[in-house]
Amino acid sequence: MPKIIETRPVVVVGGPTGPAGGPTGPTGSMGTATTTGPTGPMGPTGVMGTGPAGQAGSTGPTGPGGVTGPLGVGPQGDSGPTGDTGPTGDTGPTGVAGPQGVTGPATGPTGSAGPVGPLGGGNVCGSMAPMFAYSNTFLVMPSLSNIPLTEVTIDPNIIYLIPVYVPFARHYTAMAIGVVGSENVFKLGIYDCDQNMHPTVCLVETVPMNWTTTGVTQVPIDVMLSPKPYYLALWAGGDIRVEAFPGTYVVHTLGWRCSSSGWTQPIHNVTYVATFNGGNFPDLTSNDFYTLNYAAVPNDSLPPSQFSQYAQPIIGIR
């Protein structure tokens, strides 16, 4: 490149300083500066030459692999929430039924015979059964001898329970009582009892009745009884008179009771105080407020006027 000519400024010196204390004279004008000459033009750029590309060298062998770094184990993230259960798909078609199996034998093999049961005790009333098989015969509590019947007044609101032994299982359809005459209401029924002869529940009972006709009164019932003891029940809402066995001639099926004088009280029925105005006979299973009614020792030599007051009302079933 051509050299640029440098120029220096020309300092123009003013006139002589005036006398001291006098006014400063005006500054003289500056002389013209010598200007820089113009820059010369640039020469053209030369052509850049490009040599031919050299031949590439062969690839060197691959170096051995580096050692594998340790496996990184980051902390396990929290489990995401369980997604909603998808809808239940349609039930697939039922497959074809398989072939029917072979029919088994109609009966299985016969089992071995069970052990022989204990010998039964027999029926204590077997000798009485043939007569009782007749449909017009009532089962009653027997008396000791063929004596004239008496009459007894039944106190109101007392349940009389007269024991009777049923010798064979049987369907019973009637009860009977000999009523002398009454306009008061009364009822009949049959009570079950436990192994101690304690009365429990009433198995069957009649509707409340009023009877004024003297004689045997039959009332329909419907009950199946097994061979065991039972109580025939009588209740009256007022005084009624019924036919009865004298107390000294009744077979005392409840046994004998000991007093201070010895075994002198043969018991033949039980009574409970019960006011229920003709309703259902009550459950007596847990009721121990009873009276054991007894008579004097049987004595056929006593005249009827000396019979015990505890006569036995006559009630029968068939």
**Tens-digit pLDDT profile for residues 109-148:** 767 766 765 544 444 444 445 556 667 789 988 887 777 8
Query: Is pLDDT at 306 greater than 50 in this prediction?
Result: no
Is residue 95 included in any domain, yes or no?
Answer: no
Query: Does residue 272 lie within any of the structural domains?
Result: yes
User: Tens digit of pLDDT for each residue in 212-248?
Assistant: 667 788 899 999 999 999 999 999 988 888 988 887 7
126 domain-assigned: no
One-letter amino acid of 161: L
Instruction: Answer whether residue 175 is part of any domain.
Output: yes
The residues, any chain, with a CB within 8 Å of residue 194's CB and separated by 6 or more, are: 200, 285
- Whether pLDDT at 204 is above 90: yes
Tally of domains within the chain: 1
Tell me the pLDDT tens digit for each residue of 150-170. 888 888 899 999 999 998 888
**What does the pLDDT read at residue 118?**
55
In a domain? residue 162: yes
The answer as to whether 257 is a domain residue is yes
- pLDDT at residue 173 tops 90: yes
Residue 6, Cβ density class (10 Å: 0-12 exposed, 13-18 middle, ≥19 buried): exposed
Q: Which helix (H) or strand (E) holds 129?
A: helix 129-132
Q: What is the rounded distance in angstroms from the CA atom of residue 133 to the CA atom of residue 129? A: 6
Kind and range of the H or E run holding 151: strand 150-154
In a domain, 114, yes or no: no
- The percent of residues in the chain predicted with pLDDT above 90, rounded, is 23
244 lies in which domain range?
148-317
- pLDDT tens-digit map of 15-52: 565 565 556 667 666 656 556 667 777 777 767 767 67
- pLDDT number for residue 1: 58
The CATH number given to whatever domain includes residue 155 is 2.60.120
Asked if the model's pLDDT at residue 307 lies above 50, the reply is no
Q: How far is CA 284 from CA 76, 201, 237, in A?
A: 79, 6, 19
Q: Is residue 212 part of a domain?
A: yes
